[in-house]
Amino acid sequence: MENFLRNPLPETISELEAQMDVIGAVQKECEKKIRELMAAEDVEKGIVFPQEIHELHQRKNMLETHMQYRRVRINRLRLYKGLDR
């Protein structure tokens, strides 16, 4: 797991956006691995990867949750910045 996911959310929009870029890249890598595993499966020969595929789906979902936290934080920072004017 990416180390920054264990820390509190940053206080700046730029840091949050940078983390979202990393999260997005990791999500895409999960999707790629899922597709590769599904393509490599051959049920008739007993070559299946249900656990690996499930774990990758879980990781992708967890990353989406972290992405949503950052979107909400960015929106709040923008809102509070607008109130300071």
Token pair 């008739």: residue: 44
- Could you tell me the residue range of the domain that residue 44 belongs to? 12-83
| Residue 3 forms part of a structural domain | no
What gap in Å lies between CA 2 and CA 19, rounded to an integer? 10
Position 51 in a domain: yes
Helices (H) and strands (E) in the chain, counts: 2, 0
Tokens of 54: 């499930």
Is residue 4 one of the residues assigned to a domain? Answer: no
Tally of domains within the chain = 1
Residue type present at position 34: I
CA 30 to chain CA centroid, nearest Å:
9
pTM: 0.85
Tell me the pLDDT tens digit for each residue of 9-33: 999 999 999 999 999 999 999 999 9
* pLDDT tens digits along 61-76: 999 999 999 999 999 9
Position 5 in a domain: no
